[in-house]
Chain A
């Protein structure tokens, strides 16, 4: 049997390896996504003081340290049984919205976007952020840089540092918002809204106006009917900071809605000997293997899934785009809500709608009369026991679970992180793309990037997923014959 090794995959955060096996006809027999590393935060955190976790677990991922910091901080709220004051929740969420603005922009412009802005078949050396800047113009490139810069400034003002923030405390936050700071953030929120609308317009001009891309998005090769997870507010609108976790079935019906603290009743994680990364599934449906459909417990947790799990968006501009998204992609409304969109490449669009929502939500929070209340740091005296906190990381629902002794020293830690949720669906998407694209043993350079697009739309973060971030290297495909001899090597560079 012939083997195609893609090691490593690129333009994601972290490291993955794909093994594709071809039968004698040169068609895909099976495909595996392997994650080659582990750091073991759950073990080495034991013995540490619980209140240090927001500052330890942010080192799981330097791309989304804010998400781990926030899930950890919320776990401390429950651990110490202290309800944060409204102003604390608002400052935390405002900080989190600044983070979403920078993080989603990085994915669209630097990781996922090059495939569309430059095209999946563009020369590989141009398929990157610099290529995007050359294509769309340096002025737009500078706008992207400015967008990142102003939001990282907000992250540093509110979180203490631009990367690996430190402000989270049980029931509190160590930074209050002065009126002077509030005014600056208000201005930034307005600029973010303009940038969000600009980015959606760019998506419309570059992607939606190109029938070839629309056909690609709608193609069966990039479609998978799974369950969808996302955190929603009391109106069933997506909320990234807080709410209940809602899971919607492939047919659009609500499967379950639960509090984060009950996650272990609803989620279980499988182990396979060929990957360091576990495979979560819905306990209520059961594990049926790497397959989609109503009977398979495979679910995803991404911008696409959050939109699918929601009934609409909580802010007006994002809601307009939400409706356009479902109408354009041919979703019908059933019982007052759109049926899920199953086209994985639409995740790029969903991500930009989320970025606009995050900008609008940031403006709501920064203009809240209470946001400058200085009472943000309570003294906490309750005895800690068990704490479970969750947020929507950009790459999926993120849950931190801590147990401690009576002194708050950790005795047990469990982390179910954004990308881990998507381990099985990404593997399935890769297999389906490989099956759809590799026929009769014919492999071209252009194919390779299109296979990569099958995982890239998830914005996978293997550093989060494995609590590890090993090397990320460009794509190389080696073809072996049945005796293991290399018969051909293809790579992203055409010499």
Chain B
């Protein structure tokens, strides 16, 4: 193999959208092919786990790891790739913060199996069969990975060097980050400090959203089908839940611009540990409570009434960040490993 830097990309429990996001840098993919040797990239190249196991430690320069840690296989691959990679990037929301798969942390393994394999309209399972880690067949033994109770982000399993947020990351950000990496590897330019989140604006989605804010307050929330938003006006100030204030930018505020509230896929702002908590305070500030002459308990009641019009605050404000949320941390610490 040549002396070009080595690139790896691997998917654990994810949807494949991260791989498609890399393809969506379109013609730049030819540049990536020119600059890097692929060391492991199951989506586009035929390297094997056995090859990776045979590499010296640190052989891979950059590993883009996407997907949450859902089962034993994902965790084993995370450990292997950590050992073989100089820089480990948690690529995309699943690896970074759990993403949609971590909504599973609001329920249990037992409930999941019950719904999927026993209790649904199309099931035919009179003998209550469940998938097994080991099954003895007439011809021999068949095995499956262990399905875990709790979904984890990558940094809850291994040491991570950089984070690239987004579900999936938007192509302009991906290309910008790849250029920084190339500059460091080929020209010795400095890399960001270890632990940095890269490929974002550092400020809220609102800062890149063209919809106009006017410090207007609201008296109720609307579900997206209950209102036709006025064009050009901040959705949150029209009573449409939008996680923009609690979400770091970098996406270009695409969703609000088509009249749909942000769901927070880029994750929390830098320095904010709990995206949902931050969003709750943003919500509180937009509620128009407290008219002149009102008692304190009346104001509190008014706030409660408005908040009561919110559907599913936990599943909405922590839509992408459940693995890291303070809501979940207690549960993970509760049994030590969260398995």
> With A43-B112, A174-B259 in contact, do A63 and B17 touch (Cβ < 8 Å)?
yes
Binary interface encoding of chain A residues 161-175 relative to chain B, with 1 for a CB under 8 A from any of its CBs, else 0: 111101101111011
Task: Tell me if B186 is interfacial: C-beta within 8 Å of chain A.
Answer: no
Asked if B58 is an interface residue, CB under 8 A from chain A, the answer is: no
Give the one of A38, A171, A414, A461 with max B CB within 10 A: A38
Task: Check B42 against A473 for contact (C-beta < 8 Å).
Answer: yes
Q: Is the CB of A42 within 8 A of B123?
A: no
A175 to B231, CA, bound (A): 12
Q: Interface code B246-264, partner A: CB below 8 Å = 1, 0 otherwise? A: 0000000011011110010
Which A residues are in CB contact (< 8 Å) with B117? 271, 278
In the complex, the answer to whether B14 meets A62 with C-beta atoms within 8 Å is yes
Residue of B nearest to A60 (CB): B15
Judge whether A476 is part of the interface by a CB distance below 8 angstroms: yes
Residue of A nearest to B262 (CB): A166
Across the interface, which residues of B come within 8 angstroms of A272, CB to CB?
A: 129, 131
Q: Tell me if A224 is interfacial: C-beta within 8 Å of chain B.
A: no
B325 interface residue, CB < 8 Å from A? no
Contact with B along A35-46 (1 / 0, CB 8 A): 011111011111
B140 touches which of A21, A264, A381 (Cβ 8 Å): A21
A19–B226 CA distance with the chains assembled, in angstroms: 52
The residues of A that contact B73 with a CB separation of less than 8 Å are 36-37, 470-471
Q: Is the CB of B112 within 8 A of A40?
A: yes
Report the nearest A residue to B49, measured CB to CB: A473
Residues of chain B in range 142-173 having any CB-CB distance to chain A below 8 Å: 142, 144-145, 147, 167-168, 170-171
Taking a contact as CB atoms under 8 Å apart, the answer to whether A62 and B27 are in contact is no
Chain A residues within an 8 Å CB radius of B30 = 145
Known contacts: A30-B139, A62-B168, A470-B73. The answer to whether A40 contacts B104 by CB under 8 A is yes
B26 touches which of A55, A145, A164, A170 (Cβ 8 Å): A145
**Which of these binds chain A: B270-278, B298-306, B308-316?**
B308-316
Q: Do A379 and B228 form a contact, CB below 8 Å, given A59-B100, A271-B130, A470-B13?
A: yes
Spot the interface stretch: A122-130, A187-195, A288-296, A319-327.
A122-130
**Across the interface, which residues of A come within 8 angstroms of B125, CB to CB?**
269-271
Asked if A395 is at the interface of the complex by the 8 Å CB criterion, the answer is no
Q: Are B112 and A380 in contact (CB under 8 A)?
A: no
Q: Of B12, B43, B258, B315, which is in contact with the most chain A CB atoms at under 10 Å from its CB?
A: B258
Within 8 A of A (CB), among B1-36: 10-21, 23-24, 26-27, 29-30, 33
- Summed over the interface, the residue pairs from A and B with CB atoms below 8 Å come to a total of 294
For A472, the chain B residues whose CB sits under 8 A away are 11, 42-43
CA distance A14 to B43 in the complex (A): 9
Query: Complex formed: what's the CA distance from A34 to B20 in Å?
Result: 25
Cβ contact within 8 Å between A166 and B258 = yes
Q: Which residues of B contact A36 (CB under 8 A)?
A: 71, 73, 144-145
Q: Which residues of chain A have C-beta atoms less than 8 A from B51's C-beta?
A: 493
Contact A463 B50 (CB under 8 A): no
* Interface residue stretch chosen among A148-156, A178-186, A329-337: A148-156
A47 surroundings in chain B (CB, below 8 A) = 106, 312, 315
Bound complex: CA A458 to CA B49 (Å): 25
- Identify the interface centre among A3, A14, A164, A377: most chain B CB within 10 Å of its CB: A164
Identify which of B13, B20, B223, B265 contacts A37 (C-beta below 8 A).
Answer: B13
Task: Assess whether A470 is in contact with B74, with CB atoms less than 8 Å apart.
Answer: yes
Query: Which A residues, 428 to 475, have Cβ-Cβ distances below 8 Å to chain B?
Result: 461, 463, 468-475
Q: Which residues of B contact A30 (CB under 8 A)?
A: 137-139
Do A474 and B137 touch across chains, with their CB atoms under 8 A apart? no
Interface residues on B, range: 35 or more
CB contacts (< 8 Å) of A56 on chain B: these are: 100, 103, 319
Interface residues in B299-339 by Cβ distance below 8 A to A read 311-312, 315-316, 319
Q: Which of A253-292 contact B (CB under 8 A)?
A: 263-264, 267-276, 278, 280, 287
Q: Is A318 an interface residue (CB 8 A)?
A: no
A13-B16, A473-B49 are contacts. A414–B122 as well, Cβ < 8 Å? yes
Whether B120 lies near A51 (C-beta < 8 A) is no
Would you call B45 and A128 a contact (CB within 8 A)?
Answer: yes
Chain A residues near B67 (CB, 8 Å)? 469-471
Cβ B42 vs Cβ A471 within 8 A: yes
C-alpha spacing A21/B141, complex, angstroms: 10
B40-64 contacts to A, CB under 8 A, are: 42-51
The verdict on B285 contacting chain A, using a C-beta distance below 8 Å, is: no
B180 within 8 A of A: no
Q: A62 and B122 in contact (CB under 8 A), knowing A160-B258, A476-B48?
A: no
Is B179 positioned at the interface, with any CB of A under 8 Å from its CB? no
Task: From known contacts A152-B24, A162-B24, A275-B144, infer whether A470 and B15 are also in contact, taking CB-CB under 8 Å.
Answer: no
| 21 A-B contact pairs sorted by A residue (CB < 8 Å) | A3-B140, A29-B139, A40-B104, A43-B111, A51-B223, A59-B15, A61-B16, A62-B15, A63-B15, A63-B16, A163-B20, A164-B17, A164-B167, A264-B121, A269-B123, A271-B129, A273-B132, A275-B144, A409-B312, A473-B48, A473-B49
A sample of 10 more A-B contacts (CB under 8 A), given A62-B21, A159-B258, is A30-B139, A34-B144, A43-B107, A44-B107, A45-B103, A51-B224, A55-B263, A378-B225, A380-B226, A412-B120
Mark A residues whose CB is within 8 Å of B: 1, 3, 8, 10, 13-14, 19, 21, 29-30, 32, 34, 36-40, 42-49, 51-52, 55-56, 59-63, 65, 76, 80, 106, 110, 124-125, 127-130, 142, 145-146, 148-149, 152, 156, 159-164, 166-167, 169-172, 174-175, 263-264, 267-276, 278, 280, 287, 377-381, 401, 407-409, 412-414, 416, 461, 463, 468-476, 491-493
Report the 5 A-B pairs with minimum CB-CB distance, sorted nearest first. A62-B17, A40-B112, A21-B139, A62-B15, A268-B124
